[in-house]
Amino acid sequence: MSQNTAQVNLKKLKPYGDIMNDGTVQLCFTLPVEPSPEAREAAIQLCEKMGYDQIKVATMEKAANGFSLFVIYGNLKHTVDFTQIHVVKVDAQKRSREEIDELIKTRIGRKLVVIGACTGFDAHTVGIDAIMNMKGFAGDYGLERYQWLDARNLGAQVLNDELLKRAVAENADAVLVSKVVTQHNIHMRDMKDLMNRARQMGLMERMIFVSGGPRVTHPLALECGFDAGFGVGTRPSDVASYIVEEFLRRRDLALLDEGAGTAPAAATVSVPAPVKRSKLAKSPIKKAASRLVGKSRIAKRPKTRASSKR
């Protein structure tokens, strides 16, 4: 395998099947015609138009009345220049649950409140549950299991107004939004509506907004006004790592703006934890940073009525 890897031409990258650069791909699709020699030939011609040669029809079966299912192998002619690919993605160092807890404990000194929900009329909780619930996803524990995160899963069909009001009431540091239903781009409309409301309420600097779902990407989330977006395969620790880094980044920038000196460049540098954040402050992170000047003690986060019940 190491010899094959050494032969990879990143300037002309193509699929790997049996040998390097053979371009072998397996295709599976359905044609709305009965199985027949004509249907087989139609499938082959479609594959040729897609850019495949050496096409082999592995199977042609009747899927239903008037439908044929094909499994086909072919060699792709086209290549891509891997060295010229640039993707807008979430820039956060991957950390374990223990590392994240320790980072929050030493550099922030209080629990971060994270509220999550599946918004609008979307009733699918599989995504938000995978990130928030204690059991997590794929062996990666959910945010509820973190000692220094106060994770609150509101479930499904939460309206945008309700989510934002709850976030304000709970004095949330981060808001997670899961979007599963995407017909007619309803997920984008809901996401943009949420962020417009958040902007009108003055919450953009107060909270970190993160979205996720099977058709959510980081560029799409940015387009809708979110701070970050996560797609299929995201682990809870990916989201937690980003939230902590973004919180610290904003706080360090606030320290610079207040003339408190140079912000630390690495996460290992100790910074005094911020004092309590005001619910109605225009920029609570900046306000907390200004209070750090001349004060060395760490103040605990005040309990809200909702948090005291937990």
Contact 127, 178 (CB under 8 A): yes
Strand ranges (E), 158-275: 174-178, 208-212, 228-230
Render 2-42 in DSSP notation, one character per residue. Answer: HHHHHT--GGGB---SSSTT--EEEEEEEESS-SSHHHHHH
How far is the C-alpha of 216 from the C-alpha of 155, rounded, in Å? Answer: 19
Catalytic residue among 77, 135, 279, 300: 135
Give the closest residue to 169 by CA, choosing from 300, 310, 19.
310
DSSP 75: E
Angle value at C-alpha 268, between 263 and 270, nearest 5 degrees? 60
* Strand duo 208-212 + 228-230: pairing: parallel
135 is catalytic: yes
Instruction: For residue 60, give the amino acid letter.
Output: M
Q: How far is CA 185 from CA 49, 100, 220, in A?
A: 29, 34, 11
- 176, burial (CB in 10 Å: exposed 0-12, middle 13-18, buried 19+): buried
Q: Quick count: other Cβ atoms within 10 Å of Cβ 295?
A: 11
Handedness of CA 175, 180, 182, 186 (dihedral sign): negative
Q: Looking at the annotation, which residues are catalytic? A: 135
